[in-house]
Amino acid sequence: DTAVSQTPKYLVTQMGNDKSIKCEQNLGHDTMYWYKQDSKKFLKIMFSYNNKELIINETVPNRFSPKSPDKAHLNLHINSLELGDSAVYFCASSPWGPTGQGNSEAFFGQGTRLTVV
């Protein structure tokens, strides 16, 4: 049983194309996130959704558009891909608000390695 699953795992595409990454969680969490990991392994939040509502948008170019059809899904669509978009993108989910419990912190998916050529 995969808690947070994202597809595809690998994505190679040409500059200028539009692509989507899908994410689903079966943990019943209210909040979902997209994080970007660059070539130096630095992890930075991009977006956060709570119950299908956008909570955080960390000055990400508007070529990136997240969509949450329901609280178990958060997809990421990227328009007009650029070379600098190459990175590993992680979806994560967590309960909303302070939990005080280690087993209720953010769970991450396996990542999608995006390569723009």
Partner 1 sequence: GQQLNQSPQSMFIQEGEDVSMNCTSSSIFNTWLWYKQDPGEGPVLLIALYKAGELTSNGRLTAQFGITRKDSFLNISASIPSDVGIYFCAGKDYNQGGKLIFGQGTELSVKP
C-alpha distances out from residue 113 to 6, 11, 38, 71, 76, Å: 11, 6, 10, 24, 13
Place of tokens 């990227």: 78
- Closest CA relative to residue 60, chosen from 40, 77, 83, 42: 77
Two tokens at 90?
A: 């992680």
Total residues at interface with partner 1 (CB under 8 A): 31
Q: Select the span of 19-27, 62-70, 78-86, 99-107 touching partner 1 (CB under 8 A).
A: 99-107
Place of tokens 């997240």: 66
- In the list 14, 39, 40, 62, the residue contacting partner 1 (rule: CB under 8 A) is 40
List, as one string, the DSSP characters of 24-55.
Answer: EE-S--SEEEEEEE-TT--EEEEEEEETTEEE
Residue numbers 49-88 binding partner 1 by CB under 8 A: 50, 55-56, 58
Cβ 29 to partner 1, closest distance in Å?
10
Examine residue 41 and tell whether it contacts partner 1 (CB under 8 A). Answer: yes
Examine residue 12 and tell whether it contacts partner 1 (CB under 8 A). Answer: no
- In the list 48, 60, 66, 76, the residue contacting partner 1 (rule: CB under 8 A) is 48
**Which residues of the shown chain bind partner 1 in the complex (CB under 8 A)?**
4, 31, 33, 35, 40-45, 48, 50, 55-56, 58, 90, 92, 94, 96-98, 100-102, 105-111
